Amino acid sequence: MEAPMIKITDLEKFYRTEEVETIALNKLSIEVKTGEFVAIMGPSGCGKSTLLNILGMLDDPDEGSYVFNGVEVAHFTERKRADLRKHNIGFVFQSFNLIDELTVFENVELPLIYTGVPSAERVKRVEEVLDKMQIMHRRNHYPQQLSGGQQQRVAIARAVVNKPKLILADEPTGNLDSSNGNDVMELLTDLNEQGTTIIMVTHSEHDARYSHRIIRLLDGQTVVENIMI
Amino acid sequence: MIRNYIKTAFRNIRRNWSYAFLNVFGLTLGIASCLVIFLIVRNELNYDNYAKADRIYRVTLNAIDFNSNVSLAIAPKMRNDFPELRVAQVMYSHDVMVKVDNKRFRDNDFAIADEHLPQIFDFKWIAGDPKTALAEPNSLVLNETLAKKYFGDANPMGRVINVENQINAKVTGVIKDQPGNRSVPLQMMLSFESIRKQVNLKEFWNIGGGFFTFVLLPPNYPVQRLQARMPAFLKKNWALNPKEVRLPIQPLRDIHFDQRYINNVITPVSRDTYYALFGVALLIIITACINFVNLATAQAIRRAKEVGVRKVLGASRTQLVKQFLGETSVLVFIALVLGVSLAVFFLSVAGGWLNIKTDATQLAQPVVIGWIGGVTFAVILIAGLYPAFVQSAFQPVDSLKNIAGRMSKGFTLRKGLVVAQFAISQILIVGTLIVAHQMDYFENEDLGFNKESVVSFYIPDGKKTDMLKNELLNNPGVEQVTLSNGAPSYNNNFGPFQAPDRGLTKDDVTETKQVDENYIDMFSLKMLAGEKITKVDPKDTVQNVVVNQTLIEKLGILNPDKAVGEHFVLNGQRANIIGVLQDFQSESKHKKRRACVLIYRPGNFFMASVKIRPGAINKTIERIGKSWAGLFPDNLFDYQFLDDHIASFYTQEQKVYTAFKLFSGIAILIGCLGLYGLIMFAAAQRTKEIGIRKVLGAPIASIITLFSKEFVVLIAIAFIIAAPLGYYMMNNWLSNYAYHITIGPWTFVLAVIASIIIAVITIAYQTIKAALVNPVKSLRSE
C-alpha cells in the first residue's frame, strides 16, 4: 500500500497563559493520502486552525509525530520548515491575505520569487495560472480593486503557482457569497482532480460535501470520520 | 529581486505617505543640518591652512601676560641672527580709509607688510610678481574684490590709491580673495618700505596693536631649536633678562584657538565650541534615526500581516531583512537628495546670517562626499537594521492573527527611544537658555558703565579738538560730550606701574585711560572714594590719577578711602591717587579685569564720545556727521555705537549662539515629527479601546488625559537624565569665561515646562481627533 502523504500520531498542542493551560490538540492521529480531498469540521475552538497551522508547518506541535512524505518534521528548525513549505505547500485563507501594495500579478509571482524561479519563467507561469483562474484581465489591479470572489481566485492562483503537492485551505469561502463560494469550491475540486492533495477547514456542510472525507474534531480529538461517496 | 524591493518600497511610501513624509522630512532636516555644521566646523578647524602652514610660526611676547603683538625691532634682528629663517612683519589694521580718483572708501583688513610676507603666505596672484610687489616704497597689493570695487573692469595695475590721506601708492599686484578662515585676513597690503623711515625699528618696547612677526622655518627644522635660541637672542640685542621676557614661537595653526592671546585685534575661539556644535549635529542625526526606528517599529504592527503572508509564501528572514533595509534605503536616499539640496540652498541664501564664510562648492570635495556617504550608510544601518529584524522576526501564525504588534518588546524600546529624544531636546533647551543668558550678561549686565545712546568716533586732527567739542555741544540732540583716548570698552593704552614703597618692585601692567573731566560722569562710572578727574594745565607735570579697585588691591590696599592720597610709580613717574573707581568692564568678559588708571592728558584725546538725547537719534548723528565733515573734509565720518562695540567682543559667541538656536530648534522639530507620528499610530491602534471607553461613558477629557499621561511620565524620566548632563556640559562651557552667570534652577524648570508644552502641542491634534471619533465607527472598523 502506498505510504500516506501526511501521517500524524498522538499530536499534542497546548496554549499556556499564566493561569490557564488550554489543550488545543489532544493526542490527535490522522492520515492523509496523496491525492485526497479532506475536509476538517468542528465547532469554534475545537483545534481546526491549530491543526492546519501545524500541517502547514507554520507552527510546531508540543508532542507527537508529524511525518510528511516519509520525513519526520515535527521538530524541524524554522528554516528547514520554511524550505519544505515553500516547495510543497500552498495556502488559501478565509481573509485572502493578499498583499495590498502588490498587484494581482505580483502577488501571484511572489512564491516564485522566493523559490528562486528566473524572471522569464515566472512571467510564463503566472500568466498561465491567471488564465486558468480567469482573472488575466485583472493582472495589473490591486487587491482592493477586486471583489471578494476575485480576490480569493487570486489567492488560489498564488497558492498553486508553485505547483504544490498539498493545498491547505482555511475556510476559503467564509468571506464569500454562495455563488462566489461555489466557484471557489469548483476550482479546488478541479485542482484535486489534477492530482493536488487538499485539506480544507470549513464550517459549511455544503462545502464539505465537495471533499472525499470529513474529519470532525471536538476538543482537539477526532470524533468521527465520514467517507463521502 | 532588488527591483521588487524598490517597487514595494515606493508603493509603501505612497500608501503610508504621512509616515514617509514624517521620516523623510525629519531626515532631510537632519542631513542638511549635519552638512552645514560639518562645513562650519571643518572651516573653523582648518583655519590658516596655508600651503606651508606647518612651518609658519608667529613670534609673540610673554612679559607680564601673553601678547600677540611685538615690536618692529624684532624682525630685522631675527633676519640678522637667524639667516636660515624667512621673517616677515605685518602691521595689521581692521580698517583703512583710501581715496581713489577723488572717491573715498573705508575698507576692512588692511596691512602694512614687507616683501617677505608673500614668501610665507601663499597668496594666489592674478597680477604682479610676488617677489617684488611689496619691495618698493609706495607699492600696494589689492585683492580681487577691492580691485573691482575701485576700478571696475579696468586694469588696476599701476593705478594710484591714496592711503589715509598720507601716502600715494601704486598698485603693483592683485591677489585672489582669501578664504574666510584666515586669522590675519588681508584685502589690501601697503609695502613696509613706504613707512620705514617713520617707524622705530630699534626699541623693544615700542609695540603697536596688530604688529605681527611671522617666521617660516626651513623644512625639517624643529621649532624647539629656534625657541631654545630666543633667550640668548633677547640678551644679546636688548640686554633683556630671559626670566622676565620671553618670545614664545606660536604655531600659525594655533592662532585661531590659543586662548592665552585674547586681545582686541584677533579674538581666538575655543575648539570646545566647535566640538559642541559637532555634538549638536550628532544629536540631530540620532533624533532623526530614532524617528525612523520608532515609526518603523510602529508601522511593523500594521505590516505584521504582510510579513506573515510573505513568510507563508516562503520568504526567508534574510530576504525580509533585505526588503526592509531596501525600503529604509529608499527613504534615506530621498532624504539625502533633499537634504543636500537644502544645505546648498541654505549656504547660498542664509550663510551670511550664520556668518559662515564657506560656500556650497565645498560640498563637492572628496572628504565631504565621503562624510555624506558615511552618514548615509550609518543612518541606513542604525535606522533600518533594528526595525528590519523586529519586523522579520514575527512568527507567521502570530502575525496572521495580527497579535504580533501587541507584543510588548518593541514598545518598551520605543518608550526608551522617546525618552532619549525628550532628553536630547531638554539638553538643547537648557543649553540654548544658558547661552542666551550668558550672551545677555556679556553685553548688558555688570559692565560698570553706561553704554546707552553713546556713539564714539575718532578725531583725525588734534588741533581741531576744541572746535569739534563746541560744535557738538551746540547740537541740540547731544546731551553730553567727553574726550578721551577711548571710551570704556576701547582699551588700547597699557603701561607699566610699580609701587616700591608698598613692596611692588617689579613692573605690573595697567591700562591707562586718558580722559577729560566729563568722562566719569558721562559713562556713570562709580566712584568709591576721593575726587573725580579735573581739568589741569597741560604744562603741569604732576600726575593726579583716579584708579580702579583692582589697582589698589595690587598695591595691597583694601579700603578705597585709604588709597586716596597714596602714590605709586606710573610710566616711571610719581602718580598721586586722588580717587578710586569701582572696576568696570573695559575688555571682553573672557578676561579678568585689569588694573586701570584714569588721567587727564588732553594731548591724547583721539576720540570723542557723545551721549545723544533719546528721540531723534538718527537726525542727531546726521548733524554730528555734518559738523565733523566740515572740520575734517579729507576724512570719512565713521562712528560706532558703544553697545555695538561691546557686542563686537563676542562675535564668535554670537555666531555660535545663532547656530545653537537654529540647530537646537531643528533637533526639537525633528523630535516633534517623530512624536507626532507615534501618537498617530497609537491613536489608530487604540481606536477600539477608545470606542469601548466612550461607550462605557468616558468623557473626552479623560481620553485626552489617557494619552498625555504617558508622555508626561516619559518627559519626567528624560528630565532625570537631561538635567545633570545639561548642567555638567554647560557649566564646562561657562568656565571658559572669567565672568559668567551661575546656572540657576529656573533654567531647568523652564526646560521641562517647554518640553511638556512642545509635547502637548505635538500630540494634541491626533489625540483630540481620536477622542472625538464616533464610537460606533471605531468599533465597527474592527
For the stretch B635-650, pLDDT in tens is 888 899 998 888 888 8
Q: What is the pLDDT of residue B508?
A: 79
For testing the chain B interface, which of A58, A91, A107 should be mutated: the one with the most B CBs within 10 Å?
Answer: A58
pLDDT top residue among B91 and B326: B91
> What are B312's three cell numbers?
507563508
Extract the residue ranges of chain A whose pLDDT is less than 50.
Answer: none
Element at B58 (helix H, strand E): strand B56-59
CB interface of B with A, residues 15-44, below 8 Å: 15
Average pLDDT of chain B?
A: 86
> What are B448's three cell numbers?
560698570
Does B399 contact chain A (CB < 8 Å)? no
User: Does the structure show a pLDDT above 80 at B351?
Assistant: no
User: Does the structure show a pLDDT above 90 at B89?
Assistant: yes
Q: What is the pLDDT of residue B524?
A: 93
Q: What is the pLDDT of residue B403?
A: 52
Q: Which residues of A touch B395 (CB under 8 A)?
A: 58-59
Does B312 contact chain A (CB < 8 Å)? yes
Kindly provide the b/e burial profile for residues A101-131, where b requires at least 16 CB atoms within 10 angstroms of the residue's own CB: bbbbbbbbbbbbbbeebeeeebeebbeebbe
Half-sphere exposure (Cβ direction) of B167: Cα atoms closer than 13 Å: 21
- Decide if A91 and B312 are in contact by the 8 Å CB cutoff: yes
pLDDT top residue among B323 and A19: B323
Q: Residue B36 — pLDDT band, cuts 50, 70, 90? A: confident
Q: Which residues have CB under 8 Å from B704's CB, separation 6+?
A: B767, B768, B771
What is each CA distance from B214 to B111, B119, B256, B673, B723, in whole angstroms? 14, 11, 15, 52, 47
- Comparing CA positions, the residue from B432, B434, B417, B290 lying closest to residue B717 is B417
- Decide if A97 and B311 are in contact by the 8 Å CB cutoff: no
CB interface of B with A, residues 314-353, below 8 Å: 314-316, 319
Half-sphere exposure (Cβ direction) of B165: Cα atoms closer than 13 Å: 7
Mean pLDDT of all residues in B477-495: 87
Among all residues of chain A, which has the CA nearest to that of B13? A101
B358 vs B294: CA distance, rounded Å: 35
pLDDT top residue among B773 and A200: A200
pLDDT top residue among A185 and B694: A185
Does B448 contact chain A (CB < 8 Å)? no
Does A86 contact chain B (CB < 8 Å)? yes
Half-sphere exposure (Cβ direction) of A199: Cα atoms closer than 13 Å: 25
Q: Residue B359 — pLDDT band, cuts 50, 70, 90? A: low
- Comparing CA positions, the residue from B718, B306, B28 lying closest to residue A96 is B306
Q: What is the pLDDT of residue B393?
A: 78
Q: Is B611 exposed, middle or buried, given 0-12, 13-18 or 19+ CB atoms closer than 10 A?
A: buried
Q: Which residue carries 550628532 as its cell? A: B282
What CA dihedral angle connects A177, A178, A179 and A184, to 10 degrees? 90
The answer to whether A115 and A87 are in contact (CB under 8 A) is yes
Q: Residue B405 — pLDDT band, cuts 50, 70, 90? A: very low
- Decide if A59 and B309 are in contact by the 8 Å CB cutoff: no
User: Does the structure show a pLDDT above 60 at B705?
Assistant: yes
Among all residues of chain B, which has the CA nearest to that of A119? B1
Does B313 contact chain A (CB < 8 Å)? yes
User: Does the structure show a pLDDT above 90 at B338?
Assistant: yes
Nearest CB neighbour to B313, from listed A59, A101, A111: A111
For testing the chain B interface, which of A79, A91, A99, A117 should be mutated: the one with the most B CBs within 10 Å?
Answer: A99
pLDDT top residue among B74 and B307: B74
Nearest CB neighbour to A114, from listed B8, B308, B314: B314
Tell me the per-residue pLDDT of A38-81, one tens digit each, with 9 for 90 and over. 999 988 878 888 898 889 888 888 899 999 999 999 888 877 88
Q: Which residues have CB under 8 Å from A165's CB, separation 6+?
A: A5, A34, A69, A88, A89, A196, A197
Strands B56-59 and B211-216: antiparallel
Count of A–B CB contacts within 8 Å?
Answer: 56
Least confident of B112-121, B280-289, B693-702: B693-702
Q: What is the pLDDT of residue B779?
A: 63
Distance from the B3 Cα atom to the nearest Cα atom in chain A, whole angstroms: 12
B322 vs B335: CA distance, rounded Å: 20
Q: What is the pLDDT of residue B410?
A: 46
Q: Which residues of A touch B315 (CB under 8 A)?
A: 114
Q: What is the pLDDT of residue B354?
A: 64
Q: Residue B113 — pLDDT band, cuts 50, 70, 90? A: very high
Q: What is the pLDDT of residue B781?
A: 47
Q: Residue B401 — pLDDT band, cuts 50, 70, 90? A: low
Tell me the per-residue pLDDT of B606-615, one tens digit each, with 9 for 90 and over. 999 999 998 8
Q: What is the pLDDT of residue B404?
A: 46
Mean pLDDT of all residues in B72-99: 93
Tell me the per-residue pLDDT of B39-65, one tens digit each, with 9 for 90 and over. 888 888 888 989 999 999 999 998 877
Q: Which residues of A touch B15 (CB under 8 A)?
A: 100-101
For testing the chain A interface, which of B309, B311, B323, B395 should be mutated: the one with the most A CBs within 10 Å?
Answer: B309
Q: What is the pLDDT of residue B365?
A: 80
Mean pLDDT of all residues in B187-191: 96
Q: What is the pLDDT of residue B407?
A: 45
pLDDT top residue among B406 and B707: B707
Q: What is the pLDDT of residue B357?
A: 62
A131 vs A145: CA distance, rounded Å: 19
